[in-house]
C-alpha cells in the first residue's frame, strides 16, 4: 500500500469522523461509559467520539495529519502544541482496519513528533486505554515511557 501523509484539508472531515467511529470500537472511553450507564442524553458513543475529531480540527487544524492511499483516507493523527510548557500531545490516532500492522500507526506518530520538533517543543505525551493492546505495545515501541495509570469513574445524574 502506497501511503502519503499530508496536512489535513477541510473536506477530509467526514472521512475522519467515519474512520474514528469504526476504528475506536472497543477502545474508547466514550463506549465504556455507554456500556456502564447506557445511552446518555440521547447521544450514543459514536456521536460523542466523532465529535473528538471536530474538536481536534477546531483546536488546531494545522496539527492534524492525514494518511492517504489511492485517494482514500486510511489514517490520521491529531496534535496539540503547548508552547508555554513545551508539551506536544497526541489526542487521537487511527488507522483503517485494512491498513493496520503495516507500520502506518508508527509513521503517523513519527510525523506528529517531527511536527512537535519543528515547533521547538520539548516533550510529547500520548495515552491509551488499558484495554487497548495495540496502544500499549506501540507507544513504548515509539520511545514513550509509562508515567501514570488513571482510573475513570462515571455516574448518572
Ligand X SMILES: CC(C)(COP(=O)(O)OP(=O)(O)OC[C@H]1O[C@@H](n2cnc3c(N)ncnc32)[C@H](O)[C@@H]1OP(=O)(O)O)[C@@H](O)C(=O)NCCC(=O)NCCS
Closest by CA position to 96, among listed 23, 4, 46 = 23
- Nearest approach in angstroms of CB 106 to ligand X is 3
Is 140 a binder of ligand X (CB under 6 A)? no
Instruction: Tell me if 93 contacts ligand X by CB under 6 A.
Output: yes
Minimum CB distance to ligand X, residue 40 (Å) = 22
Name the nearest CA neighbour of 73 among 90, 98, 50, 42. Answer: 98
Q: Give the three-class secondary structure for 63.
A: helix
Q: How far is the CB of 50 from ligand X (least distance, A)?
A: 13
137 binds ligand X (CB under 6 A): yes
Please, which residues bridge with residue 93 across strands?
A: 77
Q: Per rule CB under 6 A, is residue 73 in the interface with ligand X? A: no
46 contacts 34 by C-beta, under 8 angstroms: no
Residue 132 binds ligand X, judged by CB under 6 A: yes
Question: Between 148 and 157, whose beta carbon lies closer to ligand X?
Answer: 148
Which listed residue (7, 14, 133, 143) binds ligand X by CB under 6 A? 133
By CB under 6 A, the residues from 96 to 125 that bind ligand X are: 100-106
* Phi and psi torsions of 119, nearest 5°: -85, -5
Rounded Cα distance between 24 and 91, Å, is 13
Tell me the pairing of strands 87-90 and 123-126.
Answer: parallel
**Residue 130 contacts ligand X per CB under 6 A:** no
Enumerate binding residues for ligand X (CB under 6 A): 23-24, 27, 93-95, 100-106, 128, 132-135, 137-138, 141
Amino acid at each position: 500500500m502506497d501511503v502519503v501523509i499530508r496536512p489535513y484539508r477541510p473536506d477530509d472531515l467526514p472521512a475522519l469522523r467515519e474512520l474514528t467511529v469504526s476504528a475506536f470500537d472497543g477502545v474508547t472511553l466514550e463506549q465504556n461509559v455507554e456500556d456502564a450507564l447506557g445511552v446518555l442524553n440521547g447521544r450514543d458513543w459514536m456521536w460523542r467520539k466523532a465529535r473528538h475529531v471536530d474538536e481536534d480540527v477546531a483546536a488546531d487544524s494545522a496539527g492534524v495529519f492525514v494518511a492517504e492511499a489511492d485517494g482514500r483516507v486510511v489514517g490520521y493523527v491529531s496534535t496539540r502544541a503547548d508552547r508555554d510548557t513545551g508539551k506536544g500531545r497526541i489526542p487521537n490516532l487511527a488507522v483503517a482496519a485494512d491498513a493496520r500492522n503495516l507500520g502506518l500507526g508508527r509513521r503517523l506518530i513519527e510525523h506528529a513528533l517531527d511536527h512537535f520538533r519543528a515547533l521547538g517543543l520539548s516533550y510529547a505525551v500520548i495515552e491509551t486505554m488499558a484495554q487497548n493492546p495495540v496502544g500499549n505495545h506501540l507507544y513504548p515501541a515509539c520511545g514513550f515511557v509509562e508515567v501514570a495509570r488513571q482510573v475513570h469513574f462515571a455516574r448518572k445524574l
